[in-house]
Amino acid sequence: MMNTLDALLSRASASVLQDPAPEGEALRQILETGLRAPDHGHLRPWQFILIRGEARARWAEAVVAATLARDPETPPGLLQKRRTRINGVPLIVALGVRVKAGKIPEVEQLLSAGAAAMNMLNAAHALGFGGIWVTGANAYDPALVTALGLAPEDRLAGFLYLGTPAEPRPTPRRPALDEHLSEWTGVPAPA
């Protein structure tokens, strides 16, 4: 396993994945890092739902059905592309958020799930696996939320696609820190 800081600074999304996916103790470690995410109020809103093996084909059909329900004019080629992509991913982790009503706003619970996702992507990378966080219309579709066994009031924060990178991943050039850094000194910052 690589040094923690090296792992954080070298992680990059891997969109082309192949077997093997993390399993056994490696998968458990990855998932447990998600449980270490910041969590205001200790609500523990996360629900990690594994989709693998033959379940991927059933999930692909659920995604296609939801896509057609949103847009009956979706081209068949796009539907087939979704099927192929989902069936080709070694492991999908759906990032469920069991939203708890109360003083902690929903947005903070969603942010906690986002932090859990990042922890898991970093852990996968540190263990030699790759992954990518997938969002979009399917992550926000109520039919897919309930298809995964979540309640209608729950949310999805997206999906982690995990496996072994099919090609070497060069560390991408990151933006200059100075472009994303400012210091507030008590007076309004320039726009």
Tokens 């990690």 label which residue? Answer: 48
Return the pLDDT at 189.
65
- Concatenating the DSSP letter of every residue in 62-126 gives HHHHHHHHH-TT--HHHHHHHHHHHHH-SEEEEEEE----SSS-HHHHHHHHHHHHHHHHHHHHH
The structure tokens listed for 78 are 């796009």
The structure tokens listed for 53 are 């093996």
pLDDT classification of 181: cutoffs 50, 70, 90: very high
How far apart, in whole angstroms, are the C-alpha atoms of residue 33 and residue 160?
Answer: 14
Q: What is the pLDDT of residues 10-44, one digit of tens each?
A: 899 999 999 999 999 999 999 999 999 999 999 99
How far apart, in whole angstroms, are the C-alpha atoms of residue 34 and residue 37?
Answer: 6
Pick the CATH number of 15-167 from 3.40.50.11140, 3.40.109.10, 3.40.50.620, 2.60.40.1510: 3.40.109.10
Does residue 1 surpass a pLDDT of 70?
A: no
How far apart, in whole angstroms, are the C-alpha atoms of residue 136 and residue 145?
Answer: 13
